[in-house]
């Protein structure tokens, strides 16, 4: 009976241990099954209401660069000197509209964004003014830089009529959301109007003109209904699978997600990709380290400092040279004129972080700092949900010397920052608690059960082995002490 009990315990321990070990493999399947019910982008799932309308506040902080020596720049070609002013903070509300589900497990939508000024989070009101280069002035000069001299003289005539200068005093609100520019109005109505072409040029200008209450294009993304690993990954943007802005095939690829989902079971050894309409391209982020947000472990992914590196430093970036590889900008600066109506606009990290030293030193008052000016995403690895997003970019303009256009005679070629912004979102307590209740707690229970099964199975198996060993030793000792036969005593009758 004892031997049968020991054997039974051993088998039981072995089975429990095997179940525990097997459950390690089954764990991902169970979690995948649960995520397949909770996370697809369709009505009725846990993720849908949060995907349809951002549940947490998103803020965008703007910092403007105020040029304090504009007269010296015009008269002697002095290096511009700037003071950073900000933040001027706006609260963003985002909601997806026009949602349409397709037969190939994708969903099409537009995302509308509204901006609301937050005075208590700002250094002042957004009607405060600052001085910087006149962007419409420079954009018009940029557009005609290769035209005949008489065309450029026509622009000089327009500048004289409108009284526009190389520098402009403008409010924070107007530089962002738009104002009617005298030069653009004159060129549109009085020059292009003569040829019935006024509809080609909007007389209003703003870095985010028409963005408030609008969208950044039509998205078509996978719902994850058939494959949860593809939830949120882009199939098409503006009805195309590739971009047409850039000169290279790689640069025009639309890779990765829409930035709101990154797929479950994130592998920290692999880089992540997402598409950014602000940058007019897909962006790559690299794993840095693991830390905790509200008691939940997340992976920190950083946008590398060489994101906008020149082809000599990063050959894959050759396709971002515009119009071709013979017209590459300095390292750290992306020419976005191809997706910004032909203006001389540029995109970089704030204060030209990671850029060529000549770019940084071309303007006095810049102090790039990786802690303050880098961009990153914190991703919960099991679900692929971003718990914190911080995107920091700088909008600038490329200025070149021009011997014909008024005001540009003494100007040295340089990259000039206009404004940089910090768009950030951070998971709140309510959403973190819901995540723990619906996702983290069940997964932790399953994980604990795995460990308990393995430990119990191991202990029972070890206990059975010890009992069997002791039993075996006892039998062996009894055998050694017992004589081979019992002597019979002889009695003398």
Q: Which tens digits make up the pLDDT trace of 358-416?
A: 999 999 999 999 999 999 999 999 888 899 999 999 999 999 887 777 778 888 889 99
Which pLDDT does position 289 carry in this prediction?
Answer: 97
Helix (H, G, I), strand (E, B) or coil at 221: strand
* Mean pLDDT computed over 203-232: 91
* Average pLDDT score over the chain: 84
Q: Phi then psi for 391, rounded to 5 degrees? A: -115, 120
Domain borders along the chain are 1-55+440-468, 57-427
DSSP 329: P
Q: Phi then psi for 260, rounded to 5 degrees? A: -105, -25
Which alpha helices (DSSP H) does 144-278 contain, by range? Answer: 149-162, 172-177, 182-186
HSE toward the beta carbon, residue 108, CA cutoff 13 A: 13
CB 68 within 8 A of CB 81: yes
Confidence band, pLDDT 50/70/90 cuts, at residue 493? very low
More confident residue, 267 or 188: 267
Which pLDDT does position 139 carry in this prediction?
Answer: 81
- 336 Cα distance to chain centroid: 18
Alpha-carbon span 462 to 208, nearest angstrom? 69
Share of residues in the chain with pLDDT > 70 (%)? 79
CB 347 within 8 A of CB 279: yes
Q: Which tens digits make up the pLDDT trace of 128-170?
A: 999 999 998 888 887 777 677 777 788 888 888 888 889 999 9
Confidence band, pLDDT 50/70/90 cuts, at residue 261? confident
Alpha-carbon span 143 to 158, nearest angstrom? 14
pTM of the model: 0.84
State the burial class of residue 162 (Cβ atoms within 10 Å of its Cβ: 0-12, 13-18, 19+): middle
Give yes or no for residue 262 having a pLDDT over 80. Answer: yes
Give yes or no for residue 448 having a pLDDT over 70. Answer: no
Which candidate, 418, 375, 417, 392, places its Cα nearest to that of 61?
392
Which candidate, 182, 42, 64, 188, places its Cα nearest to that of 122?
64
Between the two ends of the chain, the Cα-to-Cα distance in Å is 48
């Amino acid at each position: 009976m004892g031997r049968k009990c020991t054997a039974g315990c051993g088998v039981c321990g072995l089975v429990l241990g095997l179940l525990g070990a097997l459950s390690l493999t089954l764990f991902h399947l169970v979690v995948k099954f649960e995520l397949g019910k909770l996370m697809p982008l369709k009505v009725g799932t846990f993720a849908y209401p949060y995907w349809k309308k951002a549940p947490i506040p998103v803020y965008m902080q703007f910092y403007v660069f105020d040029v304090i020596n504009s007269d010296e720049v015009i008269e002697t070609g002095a290096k511009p000197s700037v003071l950073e002013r900000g933040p001027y903070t706006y609260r963003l509300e985002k909601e997806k509209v026009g949602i349409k589900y397709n037969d190939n497990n994708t969903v099409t939508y537009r995302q509308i964004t509204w901006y609301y000024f937050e005075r208590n989070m700002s250094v002042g009101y957004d009607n405060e003014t600052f001085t910087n280069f006149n962007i419409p002035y420079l954009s018009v000069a940029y557009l005609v830089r290769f035209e005949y001299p008489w065309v450029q003289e026509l622009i000089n005539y327009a500048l004289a009529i409108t009284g526009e200068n190389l520098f402009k005093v403008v409010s924070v609100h107007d530089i962002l959301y738009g104002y009617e520019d005298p030069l653009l109005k004159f060129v549109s109505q009085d020059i292009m109007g003569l040829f019935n072409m006024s509809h080609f040029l909007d007389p209003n200008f703003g870095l985010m003109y028409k963005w408030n209450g609008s969208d950044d294009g039509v998205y078509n993304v996978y719902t994850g209904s058939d494959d949860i690993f593809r939830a949120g990954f882009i199939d098409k943007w503006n009805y195309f699978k590739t971009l047409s802005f850039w000169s290279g095939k790689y640069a025009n690829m639309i890779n990765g997600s829409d930035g709101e989902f990154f797929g479950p079971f994130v592998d920290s050894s692999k880089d992540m990709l997402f598409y950014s309409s602000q940058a007019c391209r897909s962006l790559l982020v690299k794993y840095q380290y693991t830390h905790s947000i509200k008691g939940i472990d997340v992976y920190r992914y950083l946008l590398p400092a060489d994101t906008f590196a020149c082809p000599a430093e990063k050959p894959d970036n050759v396709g971002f040279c515009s119009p071709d590889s013979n017209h590459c900008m300095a390292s750290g600066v992306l020419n976005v004129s191809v997706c910004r109506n032909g203006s001389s606009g540029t995109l970089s990290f704030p204060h030209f972080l990671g850029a060529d030293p000549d770019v940084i030193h071309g303007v006095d008052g810049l102090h790039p700092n990786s802690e303050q000016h880098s961009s990153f995403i914190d991703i919960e690895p099991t679900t692929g949900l971003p718990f914190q997003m911080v995107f920091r970019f700088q909008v600038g303009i490329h200025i070149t010397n021009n011997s014909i256009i008024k005001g540009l005679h003494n100007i040295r070629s340089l990259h000039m920052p206009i404004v940089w912004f910090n768009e950030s979102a951070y998971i709140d307590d309510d959403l973190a608690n819901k995540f723990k209740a619906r996702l983290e707690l069940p997964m932790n229970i399953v994980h604990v059960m795995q460990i308990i099964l393995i430990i119990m199975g191991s202990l029972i198996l070890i206990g059975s082995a010890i009992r069997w060993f002791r039993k075996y030793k006892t039998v062996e000792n009894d055998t050694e002490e017992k004589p081979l036969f019992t002597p019979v005593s002889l009695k003398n009758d």
